Structure formats: structure tokens, C-alpha cells
Structure 1
């Protein structure tokens, strides 16, 4: 195997490891009280107007507001706090958890060891595997966004984005990625309603 093929293989392996270590973002749609049937042209973010934070961190909260506002304005909607056609309200559920990890490590190969010690890997003898347990902390993060029709005074839908945060330094990026996915999901629903 030449050097360039080996180098490519190493890069692909590292990229695969990084992608597999990133947790996914799942979106759930619920609480539909009225269908999406009008092309909403203006919106307001309730949290911004009444001064209610949806996240523990004020910095993250402001970033979410900016992301929602920019995403909708980029789609041609305008921010109107007096007579909006769409009201957006968001909150979060930030649940710290721990997961147990079993480290089943055995220094001996599975082949040939029974020749030297017949009790190893035998159903009749004790198991000498070095089973150690450890735990890792993570946060189960839910970003919950309500889309409300103020004329009907009903929910168009509630979209909940669920992901895991294992490193607090990456939390704001995870929150914004989840928010972007929620807004994208809602805008797709708007497009489908217009067809």
C-alpha cells in the first residue's frame, strides 16, 4: 500500500470516528391544534418581548433569539411586535445525567489460552475477565419551540429538538444546531402547506 492511500485511509478513519462520536439531533412534532394554511409574513418572538429566558444561560438565550430571527428574516418574513401573523415561544429542558460504561478488557487472546489454563473461557470455571466500570456525565438537552397562530389563538405545532451534550464547551453550538434544525423543519412545513 502506497503512502497516499494509507494517508487517505487514516483521514477517512479519523473523520468516521469524529462523525460517529457526534450525537444526532432528533425532531418531534406535537400539539397541533390548527393546520398551517396561510403564508405567514410577519412574526414575533415572545421571549424577547416579555423578557423570559428559555435557557439557563442568558448568552445562549440571546443566541437562540438571534438565530430564530435571522433564519425567518432570510426567508422573507419581517419582525412585527405589534400585529404579528406568527408568535414564537421557546423553552428548554436541560437534564444532567450519567451513563455507566462497562470496560470489558481482557489482556489474553481468545485463541489458545485454554491450552494453558482450562478454566479460562470455560462455562464451568470462574470468569477472570477484567471487568471495570466507569461513568460519564452528559446532558440530555431539549429545545422546545411553540409556533402559535395569534388570530386563532391556537398552536400550529410544538417542535422539540432532542440531543446530548457531553462537553459543556460545545453546548451553545449544540443548542444553535438544534434550533436551526427546528426552524428548518417549520419552514419545510410552511412550504408543504403552500403546495
Structure 2
């Protein structure tokens, strides 16, 4: 029985090593573009419905949490379908690896929002920029299994995050556009990269 358990553990380890060295093809350009559209729609709706977002931070951030959850659901559904199609028996290992790479940034974003809301409400104006910086770190963490050019999208979010912090520091206000526009551009860049990437020779070994 011990030998069987060891053999199964070895198989799992081998599959994980193979997955780590394989280009992940679970992200589709159309889905990335769709998440950009979700960001744009959220910004427009909040601009129309909230008026002064700074005076209604709960509504502001609730809207973006819904947008993030919807985008994650869209990406997750396509990731599973594309992985089954492109990676066959390695699909589960590839999905696990992709989620593992981005998960720390996602969890940090949620916890940061909760802590700032609970203990430092006067600093909530920082959150849109900090979220963009965390997204950039998640993208950089995923570069080794995606086309190397996705680093351009990571760089965009990194720069836009700090730019949003600097702009918001002048007024300490929340704006749907400081969230919406950077994500529309960033997700569009990701969609373009995934569409034009040539695959094997554009992914690190």
C-alpha cells in the first residue's frame, strides 16, 4: 500500500513539473476583452447612479467587487474549457498552477479592502491604485507560464496604480474612472497580447 501511495505521489509530482514547464493556454483573448467591457460598464453605471462616489464608498466598492466576481467567473469558465481542450490530461494541474500564481494578489486585495474599511476608512481613496498594483504583481507572477509579452500588461497596471494614487492624493476622492479606465486599457492590452502571441517561442522554457 505504501508503494502504491508513493507511486501516486510521484505521478502527481511529475505532472506538476510538466505543467510548470508548459505554456498555459487557458486564457482567451475574447474573455479578457469581455472583462474590460465589464469594467467599462461598471464605471458608467457608477458614474450615473452614485453621483459622488466618495460619499458612498460602500456602493462604490460593492460595485467593483461584483465586477471582479463576474470577471473571475467568466475567466474561470473559459479557463476550464480551454484547458480541457488544449492541455487534456494536464488540465487540472495547469489550472491549479494558474490559480496558485494569481491567488496571493487576489487574497491580498480582498483583505486590504476589509482592513482599510474597518480600521482606516479615511484612506479608502488609496484602494483603487493599490488594487491595480496588486493586479500587476499577479500578472508578473504568471509570466513564466504565459507569453512573455504579458509583462507589458503587468507594467501598465503597475504604472497606472501609482499614477492613480498620485492623482487621488490631490483630493482624497473616489472616482469610477480611476478604476474603470485603467482596467479597460489593461484588459484590452492582455486581450491583444493573447491574440497576437505566437505561442511556443514566446513563452519561457
Structure-1-length-normalised TM-score: 0.31
Larger strand fraction of residues: 1
Larger helix fraction of residues: 2
Q: Which of these two proteins has the greater Rg computed from alpha carbons? A: 1
